[in-house]
């Protein structure tokens, strides 16, 4: 008769009031949601590592998934034996979020991110950072070109307005020059009108160019 390993109960352990409040306000993940889901893979003798004492992170051992170490990519840090749902606060938006065990498994075994890397921002802030990087890159490629297609001109107008509102561009004269180019080439398009309205809304002390 085959032996079966005992598994720990899937019921959630008691959580502090502070942890419950943080869990009630986590940033929703589009793939993994907001809930801690017991994996059913943790045996009674398994030891699931927790965060260091100085950390505000909270881990949920019932969610742990055993790692396939041979699939991991590591160098200076030892490999991970378990992935476990971890509650953190995003340093950008200050909201709590979960770095899910299943997400960690995808990061380290499918995408093969180095295990030294970790997830410090919530999914919404990470998406925002990717958008900023993408638009900065496109802006840098287009801004120095003299002859732009209508599509590229609209992209440049949209990007310069976006970067200005994000505080990443503070050259007002360049903002105005791009607005003027857009008005001359694609005056009736939405991106041009939005950029024109942005320039018109600048305070007099700024828009005077002084």
Give the chain's end-to-end CA distance (angstroms, integer): 87
Pairwise CA distance, residues 203 & 176, whole Å: 14
Determine the longest span between alpha carbons in the chain, in angstroms. 87
Per-residue pLDDT of 156-180, as tens digits, reads 999 999 999 999 999 999 999 999 9
Q: Which residue reads 């990519």 in tokens?
A: 73
Residue 206: the pLDDT is 45
- The answer to whether 120 and 55 are in contact (CB under 8 A) is no
Alpha carbons 48 and 58: distance in angstroms, whole number: 12
pLDDT in tens, 89-99: 999 999 999 99
Beta carbons within 8 Å of 199's beta carbon, 6+ residues apart: 175, 176, 179, 207
Q: Is the pLDDT of residue 10 over 70?
A: no
Flag whether pLDDT at 7 surpasses 50.
Answer: no
Question: CA 96, CA 19: separation in Å to the nearest integer?
Answer: 10
- Residue 33: φ, ψ to 5°: 80, -140
When pLDDT is cut at 50, 70 and 90, the band that residue 78 belongs to is confident
Whether the pLDDT of residue 11 is over 60: the answer is: no
pLDDT digits (tens, 9 = 90+) for 25-77: 999 999 999 999 999 999 989 999 999 899 999 999 999 999 999 999 977 66
Q: Which percentage of the chain shows pLDDT scores above 70? A: 90
Q: Residue 13 has what pLDDT?
A: 66
According to DSSP, the residues that pair with 86 across neighbouring strands are: 59, 99
pLDDT of residue 18: 94
Task: Name the packing angle between helices 172-185 and 150-165 (round to 10°).
Answer: 150
Q: What's the pLDDT at 14? A: 78
């Amino acid at each position: 008769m085959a032996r079966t390993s005992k598994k720990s109960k899937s019921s959630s352990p008691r959580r502090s009031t502070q942890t419950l409040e943080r869990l009630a306000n986590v940033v929703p993940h589009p793939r993994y949601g907001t809930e801690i889901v017991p994996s059913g893979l943790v045996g009674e003798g398994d030891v699931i590592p927790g965060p260091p004492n100085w950390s505000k992170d909270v881990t949920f051992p019932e969610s742990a998934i055993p790692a396939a170490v041979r699939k991991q990519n590591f160098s200076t840090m030892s490999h991970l034996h378990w992935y476990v749902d971890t509650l953190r606060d995003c340093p950008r938006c200050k909201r709590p979020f979960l770095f899910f065990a299943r997400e960690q498994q995808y990061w380290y075994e499918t995408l093969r991110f180095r295990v030294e890397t970790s997830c410090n921002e919530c999914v919404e802030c990470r998406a925002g950072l990717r958008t900023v990087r993408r638009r900065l890159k496109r802006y840098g490629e287009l801004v120095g070109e003299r002859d732009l297609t209508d599509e590229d001109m609209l992209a440049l107008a949209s990007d310069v307005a976006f970067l200005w509102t994000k505080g990443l561009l503070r050259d007002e004269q360049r903002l105005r020059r791009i607005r003027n180019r857009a008005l001359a080439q694609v005056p009736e398009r939405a991106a041009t009108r939005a950029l024109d309205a942005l320039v018109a809304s600048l305070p007099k002390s700024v828009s005077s160019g002084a």
